[in-house]
Amino acid sequence: MDIANGRTVKGTNFVNLRDAGDPVELGKLYSMQGADELVFLDITASHEGRKTFTELVERIAAEISIPFTVGGGIHELSDVERLLKAGADKVSVNSAALKRPELITEIADNFGSQVCVVAIDGKQTEDGWKCFLNGGRIPTDRGLFEWAKEANDRGAGEILFTSMDHDGVKNGYPNEALRKLSEILTIPVIASGGAGKMEHFRDAFIEGNADAALAASVFHFSEIPIPELKQYLCSENIPIRL
């Protein structure tokens, strides 16, 4: 869920929600439907927006009984501390870690690796997969696999990989890159961005060897109901919580 000023952005079309813009309501619904974990990403950058987000994290922690990760605007240890104190189980760091990799080490040393999800936005270039900053707007020289390995070695607990070539296209996850990540890393890899149909989730697990798959719009727009998806994955012999 992308959050701006305490509300879920990107539309939703749920009929059974009192308030589809309230992340807590939506999170509760997903949790009831069988989501295994939730991710809330703060896309406001202002100081005021951050305060609202922290208050939201407190409400999520009070009302939702499954693990959740929060990200966006985390630059230093004090940001992590504030969000964990508010009740988040994990934090996801992206650009700030790419700019200052020590952040990963600091989080792992202070709060444990299980708290530290490193999100990477990647894109295939002429020179192979490269990492991008600021939600994929700014290219860097860092190679995807090399950075993922460094994050792993610095103490990241999980890698959340989004391919900018696949995100929003609904043509499936970047399975080849996912498989390579899973081969070189010793921590779980979460596939993010690209799901358009149920088969795409299966492929991410089987072809991409991903440990988990994240999706947003197919759930927000009720294109793929979570219970049906999980039944389907189970019938494809993928171990999953029902």
Partner 1 sequence: MKVAIVKYNAGNIHSVMHALKRVGVDGILTDNFEELKSADKVIFPGVGEAGTTMKYLQERNLDKLIKDLKQPVIGICLGQQLMCSRSEEGDTDCLGIFDVPVLKFQPQRHEDKVPHIGWNTIDNCKSNLFKGFDKSEFVYFVHSFYVPVCEWTIAETDYINPFSASLHKDNFYATQFHPEKSGSTGERILKNFLDI
Catalytic residues: 2, 121
CA distance 147 to 101: 9
- The contacts found for 66-70 with CB under 8 angstroms, 24 or more apart, are 66/31, 66/35, 66/36, 66/37, 66/38, 67/36, 67/37, 67/38, 68/27, 68/37, 68/38, 68/39, 68/40, 69/37, 69/38, 69/39, 69/40, 69/117, 70/39, 70/40, 70/41, 70/42
Instruction: For residue 108, state whether it binds partner 1 (rule: CB under 8 A).
Output: no
Cβ proximity to partner 1: between 138 and 184 the closer is 184
Q: For the CB of residue 210, give the shortest distance to partner 1 in the complex, in Å.
A: 12
Instruction: For residue 169, state whether it binds partner 1 (rule: CB under 8 A).
Output: no
Instruction: For residue 66, state whether it binds partner 1 (rule: CB under 8 A).
Output: yes
Structure tokens that stand for 51 in this block = 């305060």
- The contacts found for 133-139 with CB under 8 angstroms, 24 or more apart, are 133/95, 133/98, 133/99, 134/95, 136/162, 136/164, 136/167
Instruction: For residue 157, state whether it binds partner 1 (rule: CB under 8 A).
Output: yes
Instruction: For residue 78, state whether it binds partner 1 (rule: CB under 8 A).
Output: no
For CA atoms 125, 131, 133, 135, the dihedral sign is positive
Instruction: For residue 232, state whether it binds partner 1 (rule: CB under 8 A).
Output: no
Of 112, 128, 139, 168, the one binding partner 1 (CB under 8 A) is 112
Q: For the CB of residue 186, give the shortest distance to partner 1 in the complex, in Å.
A: 6
Q: For the CB of residue 60, give the shortest distance to partner 1 in the complex, in Å.
A: 10
Q: For the CB of residue 241, give the shortest distance to partner 1 in the complex, in Å.
A: 4
Q: Binding string, 190-219, against partner 1, x = CB under 8 A?
A: ---------------------xx-------
**Measured CA distances, 115 to 87, 111, 158 (Å):** 12, 6, 9
Of 178, 187, 216, 224, the one binding partner 1 (CB under 8 A) is 187
Structure tokens that stand for 106 in this block = 């600091």
Of 5, 52, 113, 140, the one binding partner 1 (CB under 8 A) is 113
Of 2, 22, 36, 223, the one binding partner 1 (CB under 8 A) is 36
**Residue numbers at the binding site for partner 1 (CB under 8 A):** 31, 36, 61-63, 65-67, 84-85, 87, 89, 111-114, 157-158, 183, 186-188, 211-212, 241-242
